[in-house]
Structure 1
Amino acid sequence: MNRHGLTLGVLFCSISVCAEVGIKSDVVYGHKDGMALTYDVLTPEKPNGAGVLSMISGAWYSIWRAPQRRVGSMRPLLDAGYTVFAVHHGSAPRFNVVEAVSDVRAAARHIVAHAGEYQVDSNRLGVTGASAGGHLSLMLALNPEGKDEELTGRRRWLGPRYESSANVAAPLAAAVAYFPPVDMTAFMSQDERSPQLKISEPEAIAISPIKYVTKDDPPVLLIHGDVDRVVPIKQSEILVEAMSENNMIYDLIVLKGAGHGFRGEQGEQARSAMVAWFDKYLGPPQIE
């Protein structure tokens, strides 16, 4: 396989039940410490002209996996016609959460700048992710310009090390976040096992989605289990309070008895809600 731009068609189950998916792997949106920063593009058989950025991040580890192996998890979006951009960032433990935020923002700007190449309307882009990926999704949706992150002093590789699209505006039209951390001051850590969270309080505030809620933000759907012990549901509840105070379009789905991750029927419910949200807010422009 050509890992630098070859588009392939893959079938992940029998032809009778699976649609063909086009894959463009390892699109480079920047470089950091001599390493490429990449995303993969998964194109459905019948694209609807909209796209969804999927944050590949758990505990701010961004683990590479062959894009063919991601088709199954992306299937609900692909079957609904969405082109999916699987976005990787500089991973823990080498890079911290502050750097991950700047990475995915650069990826979003690159995707917006090149949307036409993927037959995607740059005004019909959404973002989704779970846990750390949910945090990154909300940072893209609520703070697309990267306001206040200059306080961190960690953007040493910004500029020429990201592609030339680094200065392109990348407002997104909708977001779906599963059990996201929204106030990062609650997650700062000096534990050597979590180097990605060894950040200062000013840094934590600068990368807290709750800091950036305004009435002009795109519609946000939160999905959270009420017995999550990793990211307590209070995180989503305080964001809901802020979104309500700012007259945002939002919703919170609480899955009873669910912890940090959804399985079985609850997983199906969460995936269906995600697709319905994007169908509602990433649809084609209405002609008056």
Structure 2
Amino acid sequence: MANFWTYGLVMLSLWVGLQHAAVAIDTTVKITPDVVYGHKDGLAMTLDVFTPTENPNGAGVIFIVSGGWYSQWTPPEKLHGMLKPLTDAGYTVFAVRHGSSPKYGIPDAVADVRRSVRFIRLNARQFGISPARLGVFGISAGGHLSLTLGTTGDDGLIKDSDPVNRVSDRVQAVVAFVAPTDLTIMVREAKDRLPAYNRFPALDLDLAAAKKLSPLFEVSADDAPTLLLAGAKDDLVPIAHSQKIKAAFDQTQVPSRLMEFPEAGHGLPPADMKQAVEEMLNWFNKHLAQPTS
């Protein structure tokens, strides 16, 4: 069974293929690489910014670069191939990298992506976006981190000495592709844990930590509107992950939708991926639209 990151790369390749992307100069977008949003252990944490040069809509979308809670660097010109539908629609996109497994664990990744939202909101004017119109999406582990942002956002740590931490990390819309939502069934203590999870050091958590880091158990009425995209034949992150959190969203009346792809596994085939991207755009257009006066 392939791992999360391999599946993630396959999905990215399919996405890029759908857009007929190539590493080339694209005058429709300005790319600002390696913007530093924080530091830890003497290292910089970075994100790339993709700003549309034509008809920007003033909203921002964060892409969590993660698979198996590994976060790897890709030349931004190449990465733009999969982000182009968003920039073409006027969204400024932020590709966020977090501290990567195995050096860093899931708690570190969560802390990093939360900081990235605060940083982007604090500098919203510089990026040409509204601080009240931020969405997030991710694939697999990136989907888990996106859901974590959507279900655990706060209004900022008012008395913190770091001005970044005093800013809210709430997002206004979430799109999660094939996302784990319940880590308690994936860690070593889990009774029916899938053998494939043994290859992911990020899942070396006890049950208490796993529950705390599971979006399924953090759902509340103030969560961000969420679109879930999942394959019915996913044998790595079974579709029950998405179905259960959809039920929790329904119970708390959080606006949400689950789109199931009957023949898809953890990697969506091209036709399904094309439809998923269209649904993602529709979701962001609906929930990040410019407020009427």
TM-score normalised according to structure 2 size: 0.85
Partner of 2:95: 86
Structure 1 counterpart SS, 2:136: strand
AA aligned to 2:32 is: K
Question: Matched residues in 2 for 1:257 and 1:99: separation?
Answer: 34
Question: Matched residues in 1 for 2:85 and 2:262: separation?
Answer: 22
Cα shift at 1:284? 0.2
Question: Matched residues in 1 for 2:100 and 2:188: separation?
Answer: 17
Asked if 1:208 corresponds to 2:214, the answer is yes
Number of matched pairs = 262
Partner of 1:56: 65
Partner of 1:5: none
Cα shift at 1:68? 1.1
Residue 192 to residue 135, structure 1, CA distance change in 2 (3 Å): closer
Question: Matched residues in 2 for 1:257 and 1:193: separation?
Answer: 26
Structure 2 counterpart SS, 1:86: strand
Question: Matched residues in 1 for 2:23 and 2:35: separation?
Answer: 26
Residue 192 to residue 12, structure 1, CA distance change in 2 (3 Å): closer
Cα shift at 1:217? 1.3
TM-score normalised according to structure 1 size: 0.86
Partner of 1:174: 173
Q: Which of the numbers 33, 37, 40 marks the counterpart of 2:41?
A: 33
Which sections of structure 2, spanning at least 5 residues, go unmatched? 1-20, 190-196
Question: Matched residues in 1 for 2:202 and 2:82: separation?
Answer: 26
Question: Matched residues in 2 for 1:285 and 1:12: separation?
Answer: 35
Partner of 1:8: none
Partner of 1:4: none
Cα shift at 1:167? 2.6
Partner of 2:129: 120
Instruction: Give the ranges of 4+ consecutive aligned residues of structure 1 lying more than 3 Å apart after TM superposition.
Output: 11-15, 189-193
Aligned CA RMSD, in angstroms, stands at 2.0
Question: Matched residues in 2 for 1:38 and 1:132: separation?
Answer: 18
Partner of 1:226: 232
Asked if 1:42 corresponds to 2:58, the answer is no
Question: Matched residues in 2 for 1:71 and 1:57: separation?
Answer: 16
Point out the more displaced range, 270-279 or 201-210. Answer: 201-210
Question: Matched residues in 1 for 2:91 and 2:179: separation?
Answer: 23
Question: Matched residues in 2 for 1:210 and 1:140: separation?
Answer: 12
Cα shift at 1:192? 6.5
Which sections of structure 1, spanning at least 5 residues, go unmatched? 1-10, 148-158
Q: Which of the numbers 192, 200, 203 marks the counterpart of 1:194?
A: 200
Please give the per-residue CA displacement for 1:52-102, whole angstroms capped at 9, x wherever unaligned.
Answer: 000000000000112111110101111111000000000011111111011
Point out the more displaced range, 138-147 or 257-266. Answer: 138-147
Task: Within 5 Å, give how 1:141-180 maps onto structure 2.
Answer: 141-145=150-154, 164-180=163-179
Partner of 2:79: 70
Q: Which of the numbers 231, 241, 244 marks the counterpart of 1:238?
A: 244
Q: Which of the numbers 110, 113, 123 marks the counterpart of 2:119?
A: 110
Cα shift at 1:12? 5.0
Residue 135 to residue 13, structure 1, CA distance change in 2 (3 Å): closer
**Larger helix percent:** 2
